[in-house]
Structure 1
Amino acid sequence: MRGGAAAGSALRPRERIGRAAPAGRGCGGEPGREWFRAGARNALRRQGGRRLPHRAHRHAALPAGASAAAERRGADGRGDRAAAVAGHDLLQPDPDPAPRVAETRVTSPPRVWLLLGQRHGDNAQLRALAADLGAESREIQLDFNGFCQLPNAALGASLLSLRGRPAEAAPPWPDLVIGIGRRSVPAARWLRARSGGRTRLVHMGRPRAHPRHFDLLLTTGQYAMPDAANLIRLALPWQAPLAEPPAAGPARHVLAVLGGDSWTVRLDEATAGTLLHRARAAAARHGLPLAVATSPRTPPRLAAALRARLGSAERFYDWHAAGGRDNPYREWLGQAAEIVLTGDSVSALSDAVWTGCPVQVVAAPERPWLRLITRPGTPLRIWRRRGGNLALGAPPPDLDALFADLEARGLAQPDPEGGWRLPPCCAALEAERHAALARLRALLPCAE
């Protein structure tokens, strides 16, 4: 190396190409490699372009593939320095990998995987997003074990929270993985690690993991996620189109939807009565009959109390009594002139808004313990407003925060009688979706 340095220093200054070798390093490292190649190129120019004989070419006993093997060894510094550059054409720069990447983008369709969980509503959002993306997708069903209760920071990029590796999770690894909720995060990160970091990750809801682990986050206002450069806050969850599109002719009824209890909300007969009162007023205003539907979470006691108050001309579907069979919910949504529902389900709200008709939301009472600890002025109020992505102790979804976000966007107005009113706003939601899809498509290898 000392002799090579002397030869390089004898070159005229205008012939030097690349950076000079750092003192004391000779040709080691990237700067030394540039200096070595520059000196070789200039020496070749002085000899009329004739290549210098190389040790790898002089030894007849060297196998034909040794040159390529020596080139691979040179990347990590092992082996002889001359062998490390054996086979290089010193008259040409290193080949640019960009054409190979471009060829892959043109000829290979993107591979999109969906990480399905146990919640039908979450899985429906994943499928709806994949359908709007327009790319073929593979569904990976995740079967969780008890370790899924551990924080994602402890699980890392692993399959420890699964009962076994899904059979579908095999090479070739995907270009894009879409997950939702907290539990699928370790599996998504494991897939990225197996792909060598090439797989892009998109996550919906709140991952309860640092945003740096994802390329794009799609969330809504009830989760209190902190702002981030790779986060898009949607007005409502990603919704699949109605199985039955809104009827082209005149509407047939006003629809009332009674939700149910959750660990933050408890419906009572007073709430059911308010729902029925407002729905009947809307039906009288439109001059249409009333249809009432319950949900899988509706307590049977409330369904029975509501049915006892309905007239013979008012249609009623009791989900529990029918066992969920022959459910007309989607069809009734498409036939409604106006929809009145309880404010306990964001999915039901999204269903109603995407029909394009006016929507009334009857406020669902929070459970007393939650109202007590999160009343205004208490420290836990800040926890609920800002701690949505905590790995441990994240607050429950805050539906009031969702409606406040909708109000700030101009999509909802407070109702003087309590609750909210949402005028038709499909155009604004479509524009929001198009912007989110543009950012998502930019992550695909075939994006233009």
Structure 2
Amino acid sequence: MPLPLIIWAVSDGRAGIENQVLGLAEAVARISPAKIIKKRIRYNDLFDRLPSALKIMPDRMLSPGSDTLDAPWPDIWIAAGRATIPHSSRMRARSKGQTFVVQLQDPRHNLKAFDLVIAPEHDHVAGGNVLSIIGSTNRIEATKLNNGLKAWRNKLKSLPKPRVAVLIGGRSKAYDLDAAHAQILAEEVHAAITQAKGSVLLTVSRRTPLEARVVIEDILKDLPGIIYDGQGDNPYFAFLKAADHFLVTEDSVNMVTEAASTGKPIQILSLERRSLGSGEKFEDFHETLRAKGITHPFNGTLAGAPYPPLDETRRAAEYLLDMYHNRK
């Protein structure tokens, strides 16, 4: 029996980035035996804002709390995020070609430094070693969803259907969510769920401004359901499993992609654009999902139908392993 592959899942530890890396690593492990080692790296404040090209001694620039990146090297290196680029781009040389280097997202770097780049279609990255996928890789799969539901089953089973998962993002480079817009969204969501005689499963993100979060929670709190306030066990996987319908803000590729992995109807909640022309890449992403019948705009009522679940993470894992086993 062959030894399990050693995979390093490397990120700066931010949940949205780390979940993409772990999601792909776990998908590989479901296909081929593997041991996954999570690595979190962060730079000393003095060096953090330097461009990747100027991080010429990246190991020495890391903060004391970072994980070590020393031999023995992994069989497969999967990384995402700006912080990982100086290390990813050197890994083939450091490992003397032993390590197969995979970089997620658009690295904005010489693509030849990596064995494989897996980037969202809407980033428009092209090259012989590039796999374009819809959205982002993620950790959503049946076992995790079923396990996530167990702890929340008693609280969820009595809620009226349709159970509507409302996934709220917030402020980013392209989008914003102030209190006034949050009130409009929340009132429309409240009316739609009331009309459908359903219940709400609400969760916000770290990017949701406090004033917007307070408004949304206050307006939706009289509906039957669960409002996750960030305290205690996170019901996110349980929400994905239990929901009959999703309402997701347009700013989060991760949340939309994760909801799409369930095959359940999704409607997109519009946010405010922060500047003229911002959000164009996101619109490419949403147009792709609309064309496939996966998502629909939210116009005040629940709409949409089931569709074949989106499983780009498995496709990426299969492609990765094929390249790994057939590399020269």
Given that 1:254 and 1:338 are in contact with CA atoms closer than 8 Å, whether structure 2 keeps it comes out as: yes
Structure 2 residue runs without a partner (length 5+): none
- The reply on whether 1:237 has 2:144 as its aligned counterpart is no
- Structure 1 residue 184 corresponds to structure 2 residue 84: yes
Task: Identify the match of residue 318 of structure 2 among 430, 434, 438.
Answer: 438
Change (3 A) 1:294 1:410: closer
- Is the 8 Å Cα contact of residues 185 and 207 (structure 1) preserved in structure 2? yes
Matches within 5 A, 1:174-253: 174-222=74-122, 224-241=123-140, 243-245=144-146, 251=161, 253=163
Q: What is the aligned-residue RMSD (CA, Å)?
A: 3.4
Partner residue in 2 for 1:120: 15
Q: Where does structure 1 lack aligned partners over 5 or more consecutive residues?
A: 1-105, 376-383, 386-397
Q: Normalized per residue, which structure has more strand?
A: 2
Q: 1:258 to 1:439 in 2, by over 3 A?
A: closer
Map 1:398-417; keep pairs closer than 5 Å.
398-409=281-292, 411-413=294-296, 415=297, 417=299
> Deviation at 1:225?
3.7
Q: What letter matches 1:210 in structure 2?
A: N
Distance verdict in 2 for CA 1:345–1:339, change over 3 Å: same
Offset at residue 278 of structure 1 (A): 4.2
241, 246, 267: which is aligned to 1:360? Answer: 267
Answer 1 or 2: higher relative contact order, Cα 8 Å, separation at least 6: 2
CA distance in 1, matches of 2:72, 2:57: 18
- Which one-letter code corresponds to 2:287 in the other structure? A
Report SS of the residue matched to 1:442. helix
1:144 counterpart = 2:43: yes
1:8-407 equivalence runs, <5 A: 107-134=2-29, 135-145=34-44, 146-155=46-55, 158-163=58-63, 168-222=68-122, 224-241=123-140, 243-245=144-146, 251=161, 253-284=163-194, 286-310=196-220, 312-315=222-225, 317=227, 319=229, 323-367=230-274, 370-371=275-276, 374=277, 398-407=281-290
CA contact (8 A) 2:177 2:271 kept: yes
One-letter amino acid of the counterpart of residue 438, structure 1: E
TM-score (norm 2): 0.79
Paired with 2:12 and 2:308, the residues of 1 have a C-alpha distance of 29
What letter matches 1:279 in structure 2?
Answer: V
Measured in 1, the distance between the counterparts of 2:240 and 2:2 equals 42
What is the CA-CA distance between 1:446 and the residue it aligns to? 9.0
Q: 1:324 to 1:295 in 2, by over 3 A?
A: farther
Q: Distance in 1 between matches of 2:322 and 2:57?
A: 24
* TM-score w.r.t. length of structure 1: 0.60
SS at match of 2:119: strand
For 1:359 and 1:336, how far apart are their aligned partners in 2? 11
Per the alignment, do residues 208 and 422 of structure 1 end up closer, same or farther by CA in structure 2, a change over 3 Å counting? farther
Contact 2:169 2:249 (C-alpha < 8 Å) held by counterparts: yes
* SS of aligned partner of 2:37: strand
SS at match of 1:183: helix
1:421 and 1:233 mapped to 2: Cα distance? Answer: 29
Whole-Å separation in 1 of the counterparts to 2:210 and 2:66: 38
Report the Cα distance in structure 1 between the residues aligned to 2:303 and 2:287, rounded to whole angstroms: 12
The aligned amino acid for 1:201 is V
Q: C-alpha separation between the residues in 1 aligned to 2:96 and 2:15?
A: 31
User: Compared with structure 1, are the counterparts of its residues 214 and 311 closer, same or farther at alpha carbon in structure 2 (3 Å cutoff)?
Assistant: closer
Q: Would the alpha carbon gap of residues 352 and 421 (structure 1) be closer, same or farther in structure 2, given more than 3 Å must change?
A: farther
CA contact (8 A) 2:165 2:246 kept: yes
Percent identity between the aligned chains?
25
